[in-house]
Amino acid sequence: MVYWADAQYTLRLVVTSVASRQQDDIYVAGNFNSWNPKDDKYKLKVFGGTRKSIVINDLPAGTYAFKFTRGGFEKVETTGDGRDVSDRIVEVNADLSMDLTIAGWKDDYPDKPKRYTASPQVKILDTAFQMPQLNRQRRIWLYLPKNYAVTSKTFPVIYLNDGQNLFNEQTAAFGEWGIDECLDSLQNQIGREVIIVGVDNGNGKRMTEYNPYDHLQFGKGEGKAYVDFLVNTLKPYIDNKYRTKKSVDFTIIGGSSMGADISLFACFEYPNIFGSALLFSPAFWVTPGLYEAAENFTTTHQPKFYFYAGGKESTTMVSDMNKMTGILEKKNNIQIRKVINPLGQHNEASWRAAFPDAYRWLMKD
């Protein structure tokens, strides 16, 4: 089955001048292609002499963020003196054409390496953990509570998608969530400790691995295989190697954007495995099939779903989230907390700010 939101508008981006490396290929990376910096479908084409352009078709109305790269974020656009630039933002509610210039490239201005910011509680469990369901490998992160080594206690587990963005500034292209620093202090305040398992996204495969449905723009959905990996390969490994509370009441999953979509699907698909979910800025316009799945969702326990959205995300973000929570609120045994930050944007900084409240609520009896 293919799910596809009604395609409406066309966005045409024209780069009229580039400060340097004019002969190199230029790509556009944004929230419309999972920020893939070298996506051949989003490579600009030469036209009219030195100008380059791309036409992005079938965009639903909404707010889009993007930057230009030369194939990697180490080669992303900058200001004319090498400073980082904010995302370019465009509100699409009609066919639109934009003339743009690129003032500089990051690799023309070597910068100091990003700091390693993960706390001592964080380690890389494996740089190439096998994913037999997808015939791939993936880096897995692990956060253990400070007192893990000196106690015999067992702990709940939160599985979080986009693992490279959780703990370490070096690996987070757009800023980290600071999960480890947050938990180091927050767990002391509320007396609730947890193990965090972070699973890196698949870069160019992110939009298919985090989508359980086929999509005309992004391709065949691999979300069911990805969730099967979490349930049948990763969770048994974690439960065998670490002192975990294994039951559904102590197993949480979460993520942002498409990472939220696949987390909700995981709860629908395996209601006896994942008992709660942290759902930041879900991208339901990509996965409208989740509405039907929500209508059909049944469970014998009492799941907890934390929904968050920002008022400065796409024009449909809040209404889409409200549609989903409206469906789920009709089911008497589901606990829901819904938070809308009027100033929240679709970025790591907003999700970092939202995490402490989500953690407090999800860990509350």
pLDDT for 278 beyond 70: yes
What span, in angstroms and rounded, lies between the C-alpha atoms of 98 and 173?
26
* Per-position DSSP letters for 148-211, written without gaps between them: GGG----B-EEEEESGGGTS-TTT-TT----HHHHHHHHHHHH----EEEEE---GGGHHHHT-
pLDDT for 68 beyond 80: yes
Last residue of a domain, one of 108, 132, 148: 108
Do residues 220 and 289 share a domain? yes
DSSP tag of 244: B
pLDDT for 18 beyond 70: yes
Q: Is 113 domain-assigned?
A: no
Do residues 139 and 102 share a domain? no
What span, in angstroms and rounded, lies between the C-alpha atoms of 120 and 285?
39
pLDDT for 5 beyond 60: no
Q: Is 2 domain-assigned?
A: no
pLDDT at residue 7, rounded to an integer: 57
Q: Is 183 left (phi over 0), alpha (psi -120 to 50) or beta?
A: alpha
The closest alpha carbon to 307, from 273, 333, 284, belongs to 284
Q: Is 94 domain-assigned?
A: yes
pLDDT at residue 112, rounded to an integer: 66
Beta strands 62-69 and 27-30 are antiparallel
CA atoms within 13 A on the CB side of 16: 5
Do residues 149 and 23 share a domain? no
Task: Give bridge partners of residue 73 from the DSSP assignment.
Answer: none
pLDDT at residue 193, rounded to an integer: 95
The residue type at 270: Y
| 175: CATH | 3.40.50.1820
Q: Is 316 domain-assigned?
A: yes
Q: Is 133 domain-assigned?
A: yes
Name the more confident of 303 and 112. 303
Query: What residues contact residue 84 under an 8 Å CB cut-off, 6+ apart?
Result: 78, 106
Do residues 86 and 171 share a domain? no
Do residues 157 and 17 share a domain? no
What span, in angstroms and rounded, lies between the C-alpha atoms of 354 and 56?
32
Residue pair 137/124 in contact by the 8 Å Cβ criterion? no
Encode pLDDT of 180-219 as tens digits. 999 998 988 899 999 999 999 998 899 999 999 999 878 8
Do residues 206 and 315 share a domain? yes
Q: pLDDT class for 292, splitting at 50, 70, 90?
A: very high
Full residue range of the structural domain in which residue 148 is found: 122-362
Name the more confident of 110 and 154. 154
Question: How many structural domains comprise the chain?
Answer: 2
Least confident of 64-78, 152-166, 232-246: 64-78
Q: Is 116 domain-assigned?
A: no
| 76: CATH | 2.60.40.10
Do residues 44 and 164 share a domain? no
pLDDT for 306 beyond 60: yes
Q: pLDDT class for 99, splitting at 50, 70, 90?
A: very high
**For helices 289-296 and 317-329, what crossing angle results, to 10°?**
20
Do residues 94 and 138 share a domain? no
What span, in angstroms and rounded, lies between the C-alpha atoms of 350 and 123?
25
pLDDT at residue 252, rounded to an integer: 98
What span, in angstroms and rounded, lies between the C-alpha atoms of 286 and 153?
41
Do residues 99 and 159 share a domain? no
Last residue of a domain, one of 69, 85, 108: 108
Q: pLDDT class for 3, splitting at 50, 70, 90?
A: very low
Q: Is 115 domain-assigned?
A: no
What span, in angstroms and rounded, lies between the C-alpha atoms of 13 and 35?
16
Do residues 65 and 211 share a domain? no
The closest alpha carbon to 24, from 111, 112, 113, 107, belongs to 107
Average pLDDT over residues 238-245: 98
Do residues 80 and 162 share a domain? no
Query: What residues contact residue 179 under an 8 Å CB cut-off, 6+ apart?
Result: 143, 160, 166, 167, 196, 198, 355
Q: Is 117 domain-assigned?
A: no
Last residue of a domain, one of 48, 75, 108: 108
Encode pLDDT of 113-152 as tens digits. 778 899 999 999 999 999 999 999 999 999 999 999 999 9
Do residues 69 and 151 share a domain? no
Query: What residues contact residue 162 under an 8 Å CB cut-off, 6+ apart?
Result: 198, 200, 201, 255, 256, 259
